[in-house]
Amino acid sequence: MSGLWVVGLSHLTAPVAVREALAKGIRDVGALRELLGLSEAALLATCSRFELYGVGGDPQAAIRVFEEAAGRDLSPYLYLRHRRDAARHLIRVASGLDSWIVGETEILAQVRAAYSEAVAVGTAGRTLHILFQKSLEAAKRIRRETSLAFGFRSIGGAAALLARKIFGDEGRLSVLVLGAGAMARSTVRHLSAKGVRRISVANRTRGKAEALAAELGGTVVDFDGVLDTLANADVAVFSTGASRPLLDRAGAARAVAARGGRPLFVIDLGLPRNVAADAAEVEGVYLYDLDDLKRMVERQRDERLKFAAPAFRLLESAAADCWVRIGSGPAVLCAVEGNR
């Protein structure tokens, strides 16, 4: 039987500062597999969680590597699951049952991306092929056959709702988004659907910014000069893969001064964080990061879990089936594209 395990931390066990420290230090799943002597490995790294799925090797060694990368003791935050429990965990994650917005839609694509990366770099073998394929299949079924998806279903939806609550008049709202990844797109799509028309997009890859701006009827601004554009924005959404803050206290102060003191609402969806914490000390700057959004949606999470019993029954059945498949010997595996 497979020596499958997962070690990681998530929004349920660790604050954003701890998740950020780990995300900064580890990014290469191929290097991790080689360092730890694993036969297979996949890395699931999102704004809400950081998890290594391994086959073989010693998970305690992975914990030591995590702690070295984060520069701190992670024992209060980490979880370790083995064998069938590891399979159950990934299905729960992929279906959105472990998300802070229960049933959220972004995690499925993130799990698929983690699997695709492992396949592309050659760190996925038979066990992880079955694990990820069965988890993706189960997650789709759980979404299709249960009623988890009421209210907003994504981090982007929560961020957009927060912006609308503060400013109210969507038609007059000016939004600047830095980044063109899944969460940035989700946020501005939600805002656009509610009537926001003044949207500017900046991304290091200009083609991605142009595509998102064209979809929403927005404009493209130069990424290198984007901080100058803050003066014209009521809401700035930061969602890039930058390893260090793009906006600090001094930059925030300049933006507010250029706005004549009008408030600037900043949503930081980055991990590592894109905005320095001291930017919030500037009068007129209202900074919300992932932990703030989490607190905002916790009440809805509890409400959704009340209706999740059918989803958990499907989860248990899928986990049992997945583990039987892993332990049953050679299997015919579909290509990654088959799980899109």
How far CA 225 is from CA of 99, 150, 168, 203, in Å, comes to: 35, 39, 28, 11
Cβ–Cβ contacts within 10 Å for residue 229, how many? 19
Which residues are designated catalytic? 47
What lies within 8 Å, CB to CB, of 127 at 6+ separation is 2, 4, 40, 55, 326
Contact 290, 312 (CB under 8 A): no
Containing H/E element for 81?
A: strand 79-82
Place of tokens 């391994």: 54
List the alpha helices (DSSP H) in the chain. Answer: 16-25, 29-36, 59-70, 83-94, 106-121, 126-145, 155-167, 182-193, 206-216, 226-229, 249-258, 290-306, 309-326
Type of residue numbered 93: V
Angle formed at CA 124 by CA 123 and CA 129, multiple of 5 degrees: 175
